[in-house]
Amino acid sequence: MKFRIVARFLSLLISVISVNMFFPLVWALMDGSPDSRAFLLSIAVGAVAAAVLYLVGKKAAPSDMGAREAFAAVALAWVFASCVGALPYLLGGYVPSFTDAFFEAMSGFTTTGATILTNVEANPRGILMWRSQTQWLGGMGIVVLTIALLPMLGVTMTQLFAAESPGPVLEKISPRIQDMATMLWQVYMGLTCVGIVLLMCGGMNFYESICHIFATVSTGGFSTRNASIGAYKSAYFDWVLTIIMFLSGANFNLHLLAVQKRSLRPYRDPEFLFYLKIVAAASLAVAAFIYCGGFYKSVLDSLRFAAFQVVSIITTTGFVTADYSLWPPFTQFALLLLMIIGGCAGSTAGAVKCVRIEIICEEIKSEFRHLIHANATVPIRLGDSNVDRDTAHSAVVFFGLYMLIFFSAMLIVTGTGQDLVTALGAVATTLGNVGPGLGKVGPVYNFESQTFIAKWVYSFCMLCGRLELFTVLVLFSRDTWRR
């Protein structure tokens, strides 16, 4: 392991994080609130940390970045980003401990949206803007942003991009990784700007529009209101955010291709159609149950609340407009399954991803056919394309590893004294980067009451979920650290 090149990359990334603190600092200075001091101190600490890491990696050559260094750089990037991102919360005294500050920052950068803040609205605007901004930075990927803005690592960019980008397939749109990262960020920023305008057209003020769209396109879910989007009681906001969340849960490569080709043909992608079918079926099923259960008086209201919550959960955004813990058990179980499924590969969503679920389903069907026709070669197909055995094997291994981490984390959390429902919901929502869970971490609660050990387990789950497991777990292999 060549640590100097890793240190050099981390210095660039911390610089990006520190520079981005100037945006919430502006809000703090305009309000004359005490969080301005916290941001100034945090920027100073980040600058010093970046300088030290730069000096350590100053003599490193771009060619030093191999596969092992790329995995270490990406995984440590999110850890270092969360440490620096935790500083405004800690130095401003808005959270009681480093554990809570790190949890909040990790939840932001991994776009999980789980929070330890018991009264969100009591915090100054600068801090709330920073919460939303960490999600926006983490949504498309702080590593991808670094590559787009600071192309200083040469041929190593491909390895870094592949290690950070969510999903099992990295479809190249441009032969140059820097160009591809830049184009994806342009689509991301375009969707952000459109969303801000739409919310403002509905009457939301400029500040809250920015905060909520940052948390929407990143599928993060941090809100400036204690009751999340439900505080606005607006059908217009609900439907606008439902559409933007849905688009953010789709593969951003498709959005880019659609813009480039000025056509909707890219959305014929098998994974996107699978994703669309799940959302439609789940929305209709949940709407039927809550309407028949008498939770809402009209079919339209039932569909509105059901669609919002289904899309919010499957895209792992985590916004809420209703306390779904009061809904029928079927709907809660359906939402739990959606937490595990997640959105599309190449999106800002977390969890297993639709393409893996689809591949596993096709693999199961292939096995049944093979049992009936023992001598036949039964290919696995997605749409018009064959899926090679290595990709299918990778999807199955990923799902198995996901479940292993899921149940291992649950075992530890229940060992800290949490009840089974809370442990199930908390691990599902943090590993899937969703936000609200079930039980004591349900839609009207938060993670403040969780134990010290449990919060670190959740932080680890958030990191694993955001970086697709392997990027994190490979660091625990001896071969990674051997020269």
Summarised one tens digit per residue, pLDDT across range 202-243 is 999 999 999 999 999 999 999 999 999 999 999 999 999 999
Contacts for 133 with CB less than 8 Å, ≥ 6 apart: 20, 23, 24, 214
Confidence bin at 477 (pLDDT 50/70/90): confident
Q: What pLDDT digit, counting tens, does each position of 22-43 carry? A: 999 999 999 999 999 999 999 9
pLDDT of residue 210: 96
Taking all residues of the chain, what is their mean pLDDT, rounded to a whole number?
87
Contact 220, 112 (CB under 8 A): yes
pTM: 0.89
Pairwise CA distance, residues 98 & 202, whole Å: 38
- The answer, yes or no, to whether residue 99 has pLDDT greater than 50, is yes
Extended strands (E) in 177-218: none
Would you state the torsion angle of the CA atoms of residues 467, 470, 476, 477, taken in this order, to the nearest 10 degrees? -150
